[in-house]
Structure 1
Amino acid sequence: MKKQIFFLLLLFSTAIFAQKRVETSIDTTKNKIGAEFKLTLKTSVDTLSKVVFPNLKSLGALEVIQSYPIDTVKNNDRYELIKKYGLTQFDSGRYVIPAVKIVINNKPYLSDSIAVEVANVPVDTLKQKMYDIKDIQPATYSIGNWWKYLLGFLLIHIIAAGVYFFLKHKQKKKIEEEVYKTPIEKATSLLNNLEKKELWQKGAIKEYYSELTDIARNYIEEAIEIPAMESTTSELIAGLRAASVKKKMTVTAETIENLERVLKQADLVKFAKSKPLEYEITEDKNKIQKAILTLDSSIPVEIPEEEDVLLNEVQRQKQIALQLKKKRNNRIVISVASVLFLLLATTFYLMATRGFDYVKDNLIGHPSKELLEGEWVKSEYGNPAVQIETPKVLVRTDLTKSLPKEGMALIKEMQSFVYGSLIDDFYLMVSTLKYKQEGQIDLKKSMDGSLQAMESQGAQNMIVKQEDYETKEGITGLKAYGTFSRVSPITNDQQRMYYEVLMFSQEGGLQQILILHQEGDKYANEISERVLSSVELKNEGR
C-alpha cells in the first residue's frame, strides 16, 4: 500500500524540488484551541554565509504569537542556525503550515509544509454551575440598510419629477403656441402677466423695466419685422420710423416719441440705477401698452391675391404636416421616457430591496448562475463507476502521460473526467483508479497526498477540515473541505478559493470527486451541494 500512496502523490504533484538545505520540524501535530505549536527551521552553513529568516505575523491560517531568537551552534568550521516560531489557532480543524522561504547567500530555499490538527477543548457540563434560562429580551431596533431604501426612493422621485417637468414644459409650449395666434395677443397677455407679478411694488424696478421693454421689442420684431431685440434704443426708433414709411403705417410721431421716452427711461434704470416714482412707472406701462396697440392698428391689412392664397394654402399644409410630425415625435419621446422610467424605477427598487448583486446577476449575468439554471446531466464515470449529476457533461482527460513509469506500473486502470480547468473560477473532476495489487487503501493518507498535490499546483494558506462521509446507499468515505488562496493567472490578483474533496475505496480502487470554486460564490455553492448530494456508488458488498 505504501507504493500505492506514493503513486497517488505523484498523480497530482507537479512541483520540482530543489536541493535540501532547510530542515523542518514541529513539536506536535495535534493540539488544542489556543495552544502553541513550535515550528523549528534548521540550516547548516559555513562561517561566511549570510542567512535571513523571515519576520512573520502569520503562517497560512495560523497566527505567529512568538518569533524566538536564532540559536547558533558551532560545529567545527560550520554554523548550525536554529529559528523557532510560536504558532496558534483559535478554531478547530485541520490546517497546513505552508512552506517558509529562507534566504541563504541571496538564494531562496523553502521549508517543508506540515499538516497540523486543532481540537476543541472538551467541556464537562456536569461540574459546571447551572443557571436559569434568561427571559426573552426585546429585540433592539436596527436601522440596517435603511439608506438603500431612502436612496432608491429619492432616485425614483427625481426621475419622476424630471419626466413630469419635461412633459409639462412641452405641454406649456404647445398651449402657448396655440393661444398666442398673433403678436398683439401675445404682447397683451404678457403685459397682464407682468402686472400680476407686482415686481416694482416689491422693489424689483430694474427687472420690471427689463421685462416691460422686452415685451415691446419682441412685438415690434414679430409684427413689423425689424431686429428690435438686438438693436439699441436709437437704432430701434430709427428702424421703426423707416418701416412705418415703407409699410405705409398710419402711426403718429407722438406714438413713436412716447415709445422712445419709455425705452430711454428703461436704459437709465438698467444701466444708471435710476429709480422712477410710482406714478412714472404707471405712466410708462400705459405708454408702452398704448404704443403697442397703436402700432398694431396702424399696420395696413393686405388682401392676398389668388397666387398668394394658393401659396398660403401650401404653406398651411406643410405646417400641418410638420405639426403632425412633431406630435408623433413627442409621442415617441414620451413612450421611450416612460419605458426608461419604469426600467430605472424597477432597477432601483430591486437594488434597494434585494441588493446590487441580485440586479447585476439577473441583468448582466453570472457564469455560475447560468450553470446552476441550465439543463443538468446525470451519468456514470470511471471504473469503479461513479454516478453523478453535473451541470455539463464531463470530458474525459488523460493524466497518464504526466505520471512516471514506476507509478504507472502499479496501475491497472485509470480514468479521469473534468469540467473546466484548475485556473477557472469553477472546476469539477471525477477520477477513478484500479490497482493491480488488491489491498486496503488508507483514505486519510490518500487525502493528504491529494491536498499536498493541490499545494504543489499553486494553493497557498490552505485551511483543511476533514470528516467522515456517507452516501445515500450507506457507503462510507472521507470528505475534506476548506479554503486556500491562489494567484489569478488572468489578473495576477490574489483569489480565495473554496474546495471540497470526496474519496471512496471500492473494488480494489480509489474514487475521487473534486470541486473548486471562488469563495463566496453562492451559485457555485448550490452547484456543489447538488453535485455531491447526487453521488451514487456501487456497493461492493451487494
Structure 2
Amino acid sequence: MQKKFSRNIKIINKNTPLKLFLMLVFLMHGNLYSQVKTSVDSTKVKIGAQVNYTIEIEADTTQLVVFPETQTFSPLEVIEFYETDTLKNNDKYRLIKKFGLTQFDSGWYQIPRQKILIDERSVFSDSIYVYFQDVAVDTTKQKLFDIKPIIEVDKPKSKTWLYILIGLLIVALIAALLYWFIWRKKPLTEEEKIAQLPPFERAKVELQKLDNSKFLIQDQTKEYYSELTRILRSFIDEKVYDRAMESTSGELVEHLEMLTEAKQLKISNEIIQQINTIFRRADLAKFAKQDPDMESAKSDLNTIDKVLDAINKALPEPSEEEKLLNEQYREAQERKAKRRKVILTSAIVAFLLIATVIGFGIKYGFVYMKDVVIGKATLELLEGEWVDSDYGMPPIYISTPEVLKRMDAPVPAEFKDKIKITAFGYQLEEELTIAVTTTNLTEPQENLDLNAAIEGNLQTLESRGITNIVTLNEKFTTPNGAEGIKTFGTLSVPKEKKEGYIDGNYVMLSFTSKDVIIQQIVLVWKANDRYANEIAERIINSVELQPKSK
C-alpha cells in the first residue's frame, strides 16, 4: 500500500490536469506600493562566500513595514538575518534590511523577489542575479583523492539490553529461591537423622537418648514409661507385628505368644514375660499414677535394650526378594519426593507467570501485552528511538520513528524551469507511510492558492486506484506559529499482492512560504491501529517550519 502511495505524493504529476498546475503557478502579482531599492555588495563571488543582499524602503512614519523573516531565498541559503536599520528623513523613514546569502554550487543564481508588507499591502523587491564561481585548484601542488565511500553510522543503542538483563536477574533470583527452599539438600536435624536409621538402630539411639534424659530426675515417670514403651512398640510394629502401635498391652503380649508358639518368632517365654511385666508397670505409671523407684525404671530400660537385641536376633534374614522390594520402595519414595518438588516448583512458576501477566495487563492492557509478545511493528516504531531532523529548503523540522530517505520526484519536462520538487519518505509495508515534500517556484506568486495544490494531490491519489477518500479541512498551526491547512479523513487503498482494499486514515499538512514555496507533510496509516494513530499524532505535533531557537 505504502509504496504505491508514496509515488503519488507529488504536487505535479503526469496525471495531474494542466489546468490545475496553471492555477498553482500563474497567479496574480501584487502592485508596487512604495519606493523599494534592492542591491548586493557583489554580483560575482566564490562558492561558499557571503553575499550581502540589501532592501531599502521609504515609508511614512505611521506605516508598519514587515520584511521577510523566513527562508524565502531558495536556491540560495540564508546565513544571517541582520537587524533593520532605521533612518529618519523629515516625515519619512528610510528602512534598510540586510541578509547574508550563500551558495555551495557554482553558476548563476537568481535571488528571488521578496514580498514586503507595508500596512496591509504587499510590495515586491527586484530579483538580482549573482554568479558563484569555482575555486581554482592547482592540481600540480595539491593531490587529488578519490571520493570517500559511504559509511554506515550506528543507530543509537536502545535500552532493550537493559530490560533483558533485568529480566534475567529476576529469573535468576526466582531460580535461586526455588533451589534454596525446595531443591536444596537441607542439613538434617538430629530428629531427621534418627528417623532415617533402620528400625533396630533407631530404637537403640532412642533408648540412649531416653537414658540421658531428665525424666526420672524431674519425677516425670509417666513420660519416661510412655517413651520407653513407644520405642519397643515402634520396633515391633515395623519388624514383627504391624498393628503393635494400636494394640493394648495385653493384646500385644498375646500376639507375641502366638507367634512364638507358631515358631514364627524364635524368642523365649522369659523375654515375653519381661515385656509383659514392663508393660504392666508402664500402665500403672501412666494410668494408676504409681511411680516406680528410679532403680526399677533404670532396670526396665536395660531390660528393653536386651529385649530389642533378642527380637532382632530372632528375626530371619531378609530374602533377596525382600531386599529388592525394600530398594524399590526406597526408590519409589525418592521419586515421589522428587515429583512433589516438581509439582510445587511448577505451581510456583505458573503462579508467578500468571500474576505477572495479570499485573502488566491491568497496568498496560492485555492487548498491549499481546502486541509486545508477537512483536507488532508499529509498536516497536512507537517505542523505539525517534529521530529529530529537518528536510528540504527551507527546512521542515519534524520528529519521526525512522530517518526519512530522499525519494525521486520527477517533474515533467515542460515544467522543469518553473518548479523544483524535493521529497523524503519512509514506508512500513502496509502499516505506515510518511512523506515530506517541498516545491519551489521560480517566480513568486501573490495569494498562492494552496487549496489547488491539495486538490491536485487528492486527484492524483484517485488516479492511482485509491477510493472512498473522505476529506475534511481545517486550519492548522505548528507549535512555533506557522499556519497552514490540515486535510484529513479516511480512504481505501488497493492491496499490493491480493485483491481488495485496505481501510486507512490520512493527514496532509500544507503550508506556503512567501508565495514561492509549497511544503507538505503526508501521513497514511492502516485504520484501527492505535500505535499508528499515536505515531501520526506525535509526528504532527512535532512539525515546525522555523529554525529552532538555540
Normalised to the residue count of structure 2, the TM-score between the two structures is 0.40
Q: TM-score, normalised by structure 1?
A: 0.41
Greater relative contact order (Cα 8 A, min sep 6): structure 1 or 2? 2
The structure whose Rg is larger is: 2
